[in-house]
Structure formats: C-alpha cells, structure tokens
C-alpha cells in the first residue's frame, strides 16, 4: 500500500482555503479516484469540496529538522 497526499479546495460563500488528506491506495490512479469520491461524499453541507491535486509522499505531514533547514536555505 502506498501513501498519497490529496489536496482539496474548500469554498464557503466568498471564502476559499485548501486542506490535505492522506490517501492509501495501490496506485496513483486509485488514489485519485478515492480522493474524488471523498470530495463528492463531503459535499453534503454548506462547504463545497473540490479535488485539486494528488501526489505520492513518503513521510506526509512530517516536519523534520532537515526539511526546515532546507526551506530556510532557499
């Protein structure tokens, strides 16, 4: 099982923001399909969920010292 990061755009009235969720799947195609289904299932309230992007990740949402140092140096 591989891990992917799905990014969603949320809209509520005039506001817009992005969130990310981890998707476990056998392939990028399966992960994208699951993320799209997730967004569709979440669209039952006033907040509108839109699938934005998906990509493979090794350590999702993990902040490490190395990552911070790399970001600071660029």
Domain count, the chain: 1
What pTM did the predictor assign?
Answer: 0.78
Strand, coil or helix: 40: helix
Which tokens belong to 27? Answer: 């392939």
pLDDT score of 65? 86
pLDDT score of 58? 78
**In 10 A of CB 8, how many CB atoms?**
21
60-to-26, 33, 54 alpha-carbon distances in Å: 17, 19, 12
pLDDT score of 60? 62
Domain that holds residue 21: 2-73
Q: What is the CATH number of the domain that holds 60?
A: 3.10.20
Taking the chain (74 residues) in runs of 10, the rounded mean pLDDT of each run is: 93 95 94 96 94 86 80 82
């Amino acid at each position: 099982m591989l891990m992917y990061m799905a990014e969603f755009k949320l809209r509520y009235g005039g506001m817009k923001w992005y969130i990310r969720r981890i998707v476990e799947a056998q392939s990028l195609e399966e992960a994208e399909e699951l993320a799209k289904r997730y967004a569709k299932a979440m669209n039952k309230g006033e907040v509108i969920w839109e699938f934005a992007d998906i990509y493979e990740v090794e350590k999702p949402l993990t902040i490490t010292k190395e990552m911070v140092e790399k970001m600071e140096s660029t």
